[in-house]
């Protein structure tokens, strides 16, 4: 397929996953804060960091506002100058879909366009004010609807593969970042057991992973158990391992069958390397002291893979990539 269109599909997938992820994290945190015994800053600060917005946020509002849940929500939901706000992400999904309009299905486009029109409508503002929970749910449902239409109404060939490649790389990066930031925030606290449990529960919920975790791990909810689940569980669709593996399968299809001489060799080799590396890890390695280095490796590898794919397959110049990836 045309490289530029592949690029739009890839970013459509990334922004769709990002919009859904941000809405999910905000919803979980918003419900967590009243009763968990965590102070407000412990609740909200990690979200800003996970979104990669710490510098921009503190510069604009001051570090004290990191404890202000309303300010953080407003910024991560509506912020026009933040590439990570839900509104910006949804607008980017829509813009990418619009410029790959002939590649995505009619139903996908309709769902994406309607979500965007809703986000800029007075109804969305009103629901945000009246019922925050329903507001985030509406966004999550419609992102999931779009993803469902992508799965169910598009030909499973190149455009589909590029969208899912984008979704899965974004997802792997998100899960790694959520885990890393929360670990970091936690190692500085001599936390009470109850608070720690509440905290890791919220991390699991941020990844839609609470019930799946309970099904697999009946033991106590410790940082190590949660980390092992979110990084290594092969059957959990938001674990790093699952997402990296799914991304690799898409990339292999894109380059299939006689890939010799076709573009994408470096991207595939690197993604393959990461996939093998993740599957070699053991739960014992995910000690609080070691996990930061591990997760940093994952996040950096994913950035490098996106960079390679952009150069090899998506027709991006290195400079253009840097700008697009903020």
Partner 1 sequence: MNAEGSLFSQYRIHPGSYDEVFAADGTPRPEFRSAIAALGTHTPEEFARQQRLAEMALLSQGVTFSVYSDQRGSEKIFPFCLVPRFIAARDWEKVERGLRQRILALEAFLDDLYGAQRVLQEMPLLRELVQGGKGFLPKLRGIKPPGGVRIHIAGVDLIRDPSGTFRVLEDNLRTPSGVSYVLENRLLSKRVVPEALDRARVYGVDHYPERLGATLRSVSPEDPDRSSVVLLTPGPFNSAYFEHTFLARNMGIDLVEAADLFVDGDKVFARTTRGARRVHVIYRRTDDDFLDPEMFRPDSLLGVRGLMRAWAAGNVALANAPGNGVADDKAVYPFVPDIIRFFLTEEPILEQVTTHLCARDEDRALVLERIGEMVVKVVDEAGGYGMLMGPQASAAERDEFRRRIQAEPRRYIAQPRVELSTCPTWDDKGARVVPRRVDLRPYVLNSRAGPWVLPGGLTRVALVEGSYVVNSSQGGGSKDTWVQKPEAA
Q: Interface residues with partner 1 (CB under 8 A)?
A: 1-6, 95, 98-99, 101-102, 106, 109-110, 113-114, 117, 158, 162, 254, 261-264, 313-315
For residues 314 and 305, is the Cβ–Cβ distance under 8 A?
A: no
* DSSP conformational letter for 289: T
* Least gap, CB of 223 to partner 1 (angstroms): 41
Distant-in-sequence, close-in-space partners of 266: CB < 8 Å, separation ≥ 6:
308, 312
Cβ closest to partner 1, residue 33 vs residue 99: 99
* Least gap, CB of 256 to partner 1 (angstroms): 11
124/101 Cα distance (integer angstroms): 25
* Least gap, CB of 99 to partner 1 (angstroms): 5
Cβ closest to partner 1, residue 8 vs residue 238: 8
Cβ closest to partner 1, residue 5 vs residue 291: 5
Cβ closest to partner 1, residue 58 vs residue 99: 99
260/258 Cα distance (integer angstroms): 6
Q: If you count them, how many residues does the chain have?
A: 326
Query: For tokens 């697009």, what's the residue?
Result: 324
Q: Long-range contacts: 292-298, Cβ < 8 Å, 24+?
A: 292/180, 292/183, 292/184, 294/231, 295/176, 295/177, 295/179, 295/180, 295/183, 295/231, 296/180, 298/172, 298/173, 298/176, 298/231, 298/240, 298/274
* Least gap, CB of 222 to partner 1 (angstroms): 44
* Least gap, CB of 138 to partner 1 (angstroms): 15
Cβ closest to partner 1, residue 121 vs residue 279: 121
Cβ closest to partner 1, residue 34 vs residue 261: 261
* Least gap, CB of 5 to partner 1 (angstroms): 7
261 sits in the region (left: phi over 0; alpha: psi -120 to 50; else beta) called: left
3-state secondary structure of 117: helix
* Least gap, CB of 264 to partner 1 (angstroms): 7
Cβ closest to partner 1, residue 118 vs residue 277: 118
For residues 254 and 161, is the Cβ–Cβ distance under 8 A?
A: yes
* Least gap, CB of 216 to partner 1 (angstroms): 37
Cβ closest to partner 1, residue 74 vs residue 98: 98
Burial class (CB in 10 A: 0-12, 13-18, 19+), 47: buried
238/290 Cα distance (integer angstroms): 21
């Amino acid at each position: 397929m045309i490289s530029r269109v592949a690029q739009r599909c890839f970013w459509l997938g990334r922004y769709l996953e990002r919009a859904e992820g941000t809405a999910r994290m905000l919803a979980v945190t918003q419900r967590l804060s009243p009763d968990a015994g965590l102070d407000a800053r412990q609740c909200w600060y990690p979200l800003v960091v996970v979104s990669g917005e710490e510098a921009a946020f503190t510069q604009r509002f001051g570090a004290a506002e990191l404890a202000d849940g309303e300010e953080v929500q407003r910024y991560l939901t509506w912020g026009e100058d933040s590439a990570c706000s839900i509104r910006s992400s949804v607008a980017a999904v829509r813009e990418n879909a619009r410029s790959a309009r002939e590649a995505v299905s009619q139903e996908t486009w309709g769902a994406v366009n309607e979500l965007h029109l809703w986000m800029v409508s007075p109804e969305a503002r009103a629901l945000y004010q009246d019922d925050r929970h329903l507001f985030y749910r509406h966004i999550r449902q419609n992102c999931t609807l779009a993803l469902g239409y992508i799965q169910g109404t598009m030909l499973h060939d190149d455009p589909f593969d590029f969208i899912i490649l984008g979704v899965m790389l974004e997802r792997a990066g998100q899960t790694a970042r959520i885990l890393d930031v929360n670990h970091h925030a936690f190692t500085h606290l001599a936390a009470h057991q109850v608070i720690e449990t509440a905290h890791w529960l919220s991390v699991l919920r941020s990844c839609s992973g609470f019930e799946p975790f309970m099904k697999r791990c009946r033991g106590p909810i410790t940082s190590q158990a949660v980390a092992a689940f979110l990084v290594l569980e092969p059957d959990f669709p938001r674990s790093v391992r699952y997402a990296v593996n799914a991304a690799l399968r898409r990339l292999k299809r894109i380059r299939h069958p006689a890939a010799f001489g076709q573009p994408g060799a470096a991207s595939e080799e690197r993604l393959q390397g990461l996939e093998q590396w993740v599957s070699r890890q053991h739960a014992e390695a995910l000690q609080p002291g070691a996990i930061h280095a591990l997760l940093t490796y994952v996040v950096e590898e994913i950035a490098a893979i996106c960079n390679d794919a952009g150069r090899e397959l998506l027709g991006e110049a290195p400079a253009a990539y840097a700008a697009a990836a903020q």
